[in-house]
Structure formats: structure tokens, C-alpha cells
Structure 1
Amino acid sequence: MNAAARIPVMVPWLGEEEARAAADAVLSGWVAQGPRVEEFERAFAGRVGAGHAVAVSSCTTALHLALVVLGVGPGDEVVVPSLSFIATANAVRYTGATPVFADVEAATGNVTAATVDAVRTARTKAVLAVHQGGVPADVHSLRAACTRWGVALVEDAACAIGATVGGKPVGQGALLAAWSFHPRKLVTTGEGGMVTTDDAEWAARLRRLREHGMNVSAAQRHAGAAPVLESYLEVGFNYRMTDIQAAVGLVQLGRLDAMVARRRELAARYDTLLEKVPGLTPVRDPAYGRGNFQSYWVLLDPSFPVDRGALLAALARDSVSARRGIMAAHLEPAYAGHEHAPLPVTERISSHSLILPLFHSMTHDQQDRVVAALREQADR
């Protein structure tokens, strides 16, 4: 193919509105966690159908705090998918508990009640289920199973804002859900995260824990005319979000419906175009829900003429920025020697999948170039 401008794998939808919102926060004189964070929390809770939302510094810290409020600690086990960004498993280790890797189903890349049941033990305190790449997990069956087993279910919804299960937003009805605002996600604040829950006491504790365990927030201390002597009720963390980030997040949240609609439109076009490329299986919506296509990934069939590494290299030569598929944490050096059950589906997806470019401003010409580059390798 002829040389052309490189097609990125992802471009955040950021513009003048976000720039003005951030500037207004700076000019207000209140740039740390304050009124804009509170406004963002209310708006986010309403958007995902949760009773409470607590803004934090990242999805990783959101996962950590969710496990802390559940009382997860040394001696406990938490079942997690290995097929996820490594932060999912790491958050368990932060508490001193042991992550236990479960396999996933091939169609969605998500854990199921059956794959969790295969590895849970008497020491299982919680299950951490991921809505991988924006494909919703079957939370109805997972929630029912966790209730039967007497364990807590935490949802890692890092990629899933705007996805639905049974027509309702991912996160609605969740015991605890963690969210990411990294630039690869649909809604971004640069960095940042959120914990959502319907439990008011947990929400209050989450707010304390993110701010060093203080009984009163810094914003409340500075807002009053009289001095406030705070106390520290427990060992907490510095996991706060800034008002600058929240200002951007509020604008981004207003774009969400348009983001999801555009990504689903482009994903549907990919589906049609890739029907003519043999040896590729694209990610699809599950029967019980609709994804947001935070990532559009394809699985290489054994019949595909080149391996994943060679395909990524060929796409790069054609100025297409694809990425390897979702990582498998148990194969990383950080988890060398960590005992686990066989994970055949995880290893197959992780080693034979790749993520294709998908972003709101992507043109049909760019999509055609991506598919042409794939077809060229398929026809070898």
C-alpha cells in the first residue's frame, strides 16, 4: 500500500468545551478536590443508575478502595480474570489478599459464573468481574451466583461506560463498581476514576479513605468561616481527583451518548467489511447486552496465514496503529510462579487477538485502509 498518514488506534474526543471548562476551574482558584468533583459525582451516579459515586485518582485506586471497604485482606482470595489489564489483579495484592485467576468465555472475554465456580474455594472473599473492552459481563448470573456462594461481587467497569445489560446501564445495581477515565476510555479526564455503589455508608467511608481517612473533607474545612479541626479515623490514602479533571469529565459525560452511537456505527461497518476477510472473528454484542466498543478486537483463527506479531508489523508498515489484544496477567513477569488453574481460553485470546483502530473522528476511508491491510495479509 502507498504511504499515508498514520491511523491511530484511539483519539480522545476532546475540544474547546473541555479546554474552557478546565480553564474556568483554574481561574476559579479552586483546583483541588472541590465543588466540581461533587457535581461530577452526582452526574456520573445519575448516568449509570447508582445511588452514590465517589471520584478517585484512577480505576486502580477505585478497585483498591472497593476491596478495602469489603474488608478483603491477608488470608482472603479474590477471583479475577487473568485476561485483563494487570491493575485488576494488582488491586487484590494491594490488600494483601491473593488473586485467583479464572478463565473466560471465548465469545465475550469475560468471566462467567461457571468459570468462577471452577476456581473458587472456602477462602474466596470476593469476585472481581471485568466488563472487558466494553463488552458487558453477564452480571445477572454472576450476582445470583455470588449471592448463593456468600461472596461479594465487584465490577471492574473501567472500559464499560455506556454499555448496557438488559437495557440498563452497566453498573446499575452493582454492589460496587470501579470506572476509569484514562484517555483510552470513552469518557476521559486525563487520569481519574470512580467508585459507584448504592450503599450510603460505604460511599461515606470511600470518601474518607480517598482523603487520608479524614472525618471532614478539605473542601468542607476551607468552605466554613470557623476553623475546623479534623481527625483521622483510620489509615487512608491520597486518592483524590482534582476539580480541573472533574470539569473536563462533566463535559465528556455530556458527549457519552454521541460517543457510543458513533463507535457502534463504526463497529457495525467493520463487521460488514470484515466478512470479506477470512480467518478473523470480530468481537460481538452478547445476547444479554450491548457493548460500547471501547475496543474493537478481532481473534485470529488458526487458519490465518500469519501470526499476530507478523500481522501487527505488517499493519504498522501500512501506517495502521493496531495493538495486541488484551493481556493475560498470569503470563507477565510480575506473576511468575503464581499458581493458577489451566487458562486455555485466556491464553488463546491473549496471544491471537488484536485491537483495531476505532475513534469518533475515524473516516470511512481510514476504515477501508485498515481492512485492506488486513485483507492483504489474509490473502498471502
Structure 2
Amino acid sequence: MIPIAAPLLAEEEADAAREVVLSGWVSQGPQVAAFEREFAALVGAPHACAVANCTAALQLALAALDIGAGDEVITVSHSFIATANAIRYQGATPVFVDIDPETYNLDCARLAEAITGHTRAIIAVHQMGMPCDMAALMAVARHHGIAVIEDAACAAGSQIRMSGEWEPIGKPHGHIACFSFHPRKVITTGEGGMLTTADPELDRRFRLLRQHGMSIPDTVRHGSSRVIFEDYLVVGYNYRMTDIQAAVGRKQLERLPELVARRRAVAAKYAELLGSFAGLRLPAESEWARSNWQSYCVGLPDRLDQRTVMQNLLNKGIATRRGIMCSHREPPYANANHRHSLRQSEAAQARSILLPIYAQMKEEDQLCVANAIRAELAHGYN
């Protein structure tokens, strides 16, 4: 079987986790603090706050901005459902805009028409690791005085050119960026997430909310020579990351440049192998974007049935995934008042598939995938 993804975990990660297990401190503690410092340094962010997962990160981002009932948050339907769910958790309303079919990201030309007097924020998704057009998006957001959250779940290691300089996703370019460390991401802690920001007050609120609204962190209380009684200042959450996860994450961070370089090489090989296949649409980077290639998404010609292609590939031992889901097609959002056309989002879901990609993927496996795709294109069924 050629899997859709395969995390690169080795003895270094196992040893790091073992050391934490034997240390006696396995919950949020010194390893989490070190992971936060190292992640912040890597992406060039003044502050980084580790949490349980990226869904928690998105909700904390909205909560820290005091977004709630009666507020609207503009985002794409064409994203994993967690993006929309985080908005709903806060009692706010997601307003979906369509995507640019070339990048699978939010179409910034459609952004202004979605803004109303109730709009409080925009969640820009760096879909499949491909950077969103932050320069265009931020110009609109600044003009209207709207906060910007980057859903960078897939984008650790991706870069964007801003003002002529290449900068990591997560610097951040909006107000807050949120990352995932799920096993299908470029680096993983099993589950886990991170928020980055340049605003110290937002970072303070993340840290308060992630740990039940507790005024004194465990590390301070346990390390004090005096008895300290904590207060619970707000209604918070249990969104902490464990030290076991953070220890693994620190080793994964060391691998990140190599993992991205390998993925970019795999993506380049796919472009070489598949580039001459008539009717197959390949992904491409904008001149201002460098993707980590968390996923490799190809568009199928209209004559091919998505499910049939995927089943035929699975029968040959090749795992794929359908195009990125559309939240507005799922029951929790199906009856909402969608004010704008989502035609490109629906087409991307229905007409594209994600091919296997991971850092340790062998060239012979890519050739196997390419040959299987060629066979499907030759069938010409409906």
C-alpha cells in the first residue's frame, strides 16, 4: 500500500518522549515552554502558545478577539470543517466566500462584497500548505478595520514573499496564526496545535484561556517556595498540550527544513511525471508563494468520475483522498443562508483528488502513482 501520508518519526522522537515519561512531569510544563520558544524563533513570531490541537487554537483566537454571538467571520467553505466549527463554538456566524481555482485559497477579489457591519474577522486558510494571498487580503482587512486569523493548520514550513522578502507562514502576517500537528501534517506531535502572534496581550489571553482561566500556571505554583492559591479569572478551557507531545514536537522542529525540502522534491517529481498528461490539472505555486506541499492536489477532467478513479487506485494499493471538503454541504451548515456563490469550491471538491505525498516517498512509488493515473485518463469513462 502507498499511503496518502506517512509521518517521519524515529528513535530521536521516541527517546525524547521516553525521557519525559521518566521525568515525572508529563503534563504542560518545561517541554511545552521550550517548544513554544523554538517554534516562535523558527517562524519569526514574538509569541507562540501551544495547545491541544488546531481546532482549539482557532477557537482561542476568536475568543481572545472577543468574537461571539451576532458577529460574522468571513472564511472559506472549502476547508476542513474545524474552520467553520470554531466560529460556531463562539456563537458567531461563518460567512463563506468562494476560492480561487488556481490556488484553492480564498479569492481575495470576492472579499469586499462579503463584508458587512457585523463582520469582525477573516479566517484565511493556507489550504494544503499553499499560502493565501496575504498581501491582497491584508489590504482589504486594514481598509475595513477587520482582524485576520490565519488558519495555517497545514502550513508549517511554507513561505510567502511580503514586501520583497521571503518570510515563514506564522510570522504572523495577520493578527494570529494557528497551526496543527496532526499526523497528516508536515510535522506532528500526534495531536497538538500552536498560536503565534505579535500582540503580547493576545498571547496572555491564549495562555489564560487554555488552562481553565487559571491565574497562576502549574509551573509557577509547583516551583514556588511559598504556598500560592490560584484564582479562576474567566471561563476557560482545558486546551493544554502535554510535555510528551512537546518533546516529540521539538525533535520534529529540527527536521522541518529537511522535511520541507524533501516534500518539495517529491512535488517537483510529480510535476515532471504528470505534466504531460492531457486533461489533468496540476497544482502550481504563485510567484510569491513557496508551499511545504502538505498535500498534492490534482484536478480531474470532467469525463472521469472522482469516486471511480479513487477506487481504482485503491484497488492497486494507492491511497488517495477526495478534494477538500465544503463545509456548507454538510448537515450543520446546509440550511444556513449562504449569500455568495461557492461554485468554484464545489467544483474543487468534486473534481480533484489528493495524491500520496510524504518526505520519505520513493521515486518508484511516485512512478506507480503516475502510471495508475495515466491508466485512468486512458479509460475516458463518465
TM-score interval, normalised by the smaller of the two chains: over 0.9
Which of 312, 315, 318 is the aligned partner of 2:316? 318
3-state DSSP of counterpart to 2:105? coil
Aligned equivalent of 1:28:
23
Aligned equivalent of 2:261:
261
Aligned equivalent of 1:3:
none
Aligned equivalent of 1:356:
355
Asked if the contact 2:160/2:288 (under 8 Å) is kept, the reply is yes
Aligned equivalent of 1:372:
371
Tell me, in whole angstroms, the C-alpha distance in 2 between the residues paired with 1:282 and 1:47: 30
Alignment of 1:65-144 (within 5 A): 65-144=60-139
Give the deviation of 1:144 after TM superposition.
Answer: 1.6
3-state DSSP of counterpart to 2:178? strand
3-state DSSP of counterpart to 1:282? coil
Tell me, in whole angstroms, the C-alpha distance in 2 between the residues paired with 1:378 and 1:113: 33
- AA in 1 matched with 2:36: E
Which of 334, 337, 354 is the aligned partner of 1:336? 334
Give the deviation of 1:113 after TM superposition.
Answer: 2.6
Tell me, in whole angstroms, the C-alpha distance in 2 between the residues paired with 1:54 and 1:173: 13
Aligned equivalent of 1:9:
4
Tell me, in whole angstroms, the C-alpha distance in 2 between the residues paired with 1:358 and 1:269: 11
3-state DSSP of counterpart to 2:114? coil
- AA in 2 matched with 1:284: A
Tell me, in whole angstroms, the C-alpha distance in 2 between the residues paired with 1:285 and 1:183: 24
Give the deviation of 1:134 after TM superposition.
Answer: 0.3
- AA in 2 matched with 1:229: F
Tell me, in whole angstroms, the C-alpha distance in 2 between the residues paired with 1:147 and 1:171: 19
Q: Which moved more, 1:324-333 or 1:278-287?
A: 278-287
Give the deviation of 1:116 after TM superposition.
Answer: 1.8
Aligned equivalent of 1:221:
221
CA displacement 1:36-83 (0-9 Å, x = unmatched): 000000000111111100000000000000001111010000001000
3-state DSSP of counterpart to 1:312? helix
Alignment of 1:242-321 (within 5 A): 242-302=242-302, 305-321=303-319
Give the deviation of 1:342 after TM superposition.
Answer: 1.4
Alignment of 1:108-257 (within 5 A): 108-166=103-161, 167-174=166-173, 175-257=175-257
3-state DSSP of counterpart to 2:148? strand
- AA in 2 matched with 1:59: C
Give the deviation of 1:226 after TM superposition.
Answer: 1.5
Tell me, in whole angstroms, the C-alpha distance in 1 between the residues paired with 2:13 and 2:86: 30
Give the deviation of 1:249 after TM superposition.
Answer: 0.1
Which of 31, 35, 45 is the aligned partner of 1:50? 45
- AA in 2 matched with 1:192: G
Asked if the contact 2:73/2:93 (under 8 Å) is kept, the reply is yes
- AA in 2 matched with 1:225: S
Tell me, in whole angstroms, the C-alpha distance in 1 between the residues paired with 2:172 and 2:218: 30
Tell me, in whole angstroms, the C-alpha distance in 2 between the residues paired with 1:291 and 1:360: 14
Asked if the contact 2:172/2:196 (under 8 Å) is kept, the reply is no
Structure 2 residues not aligned, in runs of 5+: none
Tell me, in whole angstroms, the C-alpha distance in 2 between the residues paired with 1:223 and 1:243: 16
Give every structure 1 segment of 4 or more consecutive aligned residues whose post-TM-superposition deviation is greater than 4 Å. none
CA displacement 1:155-210 (0-9 Å, x = unmatched): 00000011111111012133101000000001100000001001111111110100
Aligned equivalent of 2:344:
345
- AA in 1 matched with 2:320: A
Asked if the contact 2:111/2:140 (under 8 Å) is kept, the reply is no
Structure 1 residues not aligned, in runs of 5+: 1-5
Give the deviation of 1:273 after TM superposition.
Answer: 0.6
Tell me, in whole angstroms, the C-alpha distance in 2 between the residues paired with 1:365 and 1:74: 53
- AA in 1 matched with 2:126: H
Tell me, in whole angstroms, the C-alpha distance in 2 between the residues paired with 1:179 and 1:25: 23
Give the deviation of 1:7 after TM superposition.
Answer: 0.5
Q: TM-score, normalised by structure 2?
A: 0.96
**Count of paired positions:** 373
